[in-house]
């Protein structure tokens, strides 16, 4: 696993550089799964706190910003776990199976899959792109995660909409993408991912949740 220090938050209008040889923590969610006003409020608060840190000109500015973004990601994730608004299509086993099969299908060609959890309204995913990209990924190494997610979300949305007999947007366009910096953080994130259903009150033990994958015996 490569050690990286860059934090990436991907927006469709302004993608950031995404290292090809890196491990990533990804979260993507169903359309309408978070209240718009809360999203705007949290983003504004986060930007104001980041500005205060940058203006302070103290040391470790980058690490402080990473910690702020981590805290706000956790706020968003807690809201998603409550599943209070929007669709929860992946509570349907047939829809969850579509996502699960698509994640495994790309393992070994577009990424090395380490762990995932498919929640009712969002997905947590850990993979690396270390020398796994096949010929279809050549030429897009500047934004490998964006390309992987675009293809994954397009395919699963198509199949899920067919199963649900619906039309329209399935996934929220924006995704949370974080480059994992070291082995310690990698272990912590994998534990976070597989324990999400426990934290959300869906099961008592992560092993009891049907839509979890972990490549490792112990985390």
pTM, entire model: 0.80
Distance, in Å, from the CA atom of 52 to the CA atom of 210, rounded to the nearest integer, reads 43
Q: Report the range of poorest mean pLDDT among 42-51, 111-120, 183-192.
A: 42-51
Band (116; pLDDT cuts 50, 70, 90): very high
Worst-scoring range by mean pLDDT, 8-17, 145-154, 159-168?
8-17
Q: How many CA atoms lie within 13 A of 204 on its CB side?
A: 0
Burial class (CB in 10 A: 0-12, 13-18, 19+), 61: middle
Cα(1)–Cα(12) distance, integer angstroms: 27
What confidence tier does 55 reach under pLDDT thresholds 50, 70, 90?
A: low
Residue 12 — very low, low, confident or very high, per pLDDT cuts 50/70/90?
very low
Best-predicted range by mean pLDDT among 19-23, 130-134, 191-195? 191-195
Who wins on pLDDT, 48 or 199? 199
Give the pLDDT mean for 53-57. Answer: 61
Q: What is the CA radius of gyration of the chain?
A: 17
Q: What is the pLDDT of residue 6?
A: 34
| pLDDT in the model for residue 9 | 36
Each residue of 16-38: pLDDT tens digit? 667 778 999 999 999 999 877 77
pLDDT of 105: 97
Between CA 128 and CA 141 the distance in angstroms is 13
Stretch 41-54: mean pLDDT: 68
Write down the pLDDT at residue 8. Answer: 36
Q: What is the pLDDT of residue 170?
A: 98
Q: Which residue has the tokens 């978070």?
A: 34
Q: Is the pLDDT of residue 144 over 90?
A: no
């Amino acid at each position: 696993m490569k050690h990286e220090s860059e934090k990436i938050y991907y927006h469709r209008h302004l993608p950031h550089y995404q290292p090809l040889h890196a491990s990533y923590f990804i979260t993507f969610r169903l359309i309408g799964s978070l209240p718009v006003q809360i999203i705007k409020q949290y983003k504004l608060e986060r930007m104001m706190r980041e500005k205060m840190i940058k203006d302070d000109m103290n040391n470790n500015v980058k690490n402080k910003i990473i910690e702020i973004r981590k805290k706000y990601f956790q706020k968003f994730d807690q809201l998603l776990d409550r599943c209070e608004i929007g669709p929860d299509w992946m509570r349907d086993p047939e829809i969850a199976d579509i996502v699960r099969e698509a994640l495994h299908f790309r393992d070994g060609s577009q990424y090395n899959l380490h762990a995932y959890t498919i929640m009712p309204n969002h997905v947590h995913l850990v993979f690396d792109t270390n020398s796994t990209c096949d010929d279809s990924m050549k030429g897009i190494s500047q934004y490998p995660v964006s390309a992987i997610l675009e293809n994954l979300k397009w395919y699963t949305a198509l199949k899920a909409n067919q199963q649900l007999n619906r039309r329209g947007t399935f996934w929220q366009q924006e995704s949370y993408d974080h480059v994992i910096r070291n082995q310690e953080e990698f272990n912590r994130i994998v534990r976070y991912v597989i324990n999400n259903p426990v934290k959300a009150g869906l099961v008592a033990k992560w092993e009891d949740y049907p839509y979890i994958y972990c490549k490792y015996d112990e985390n």
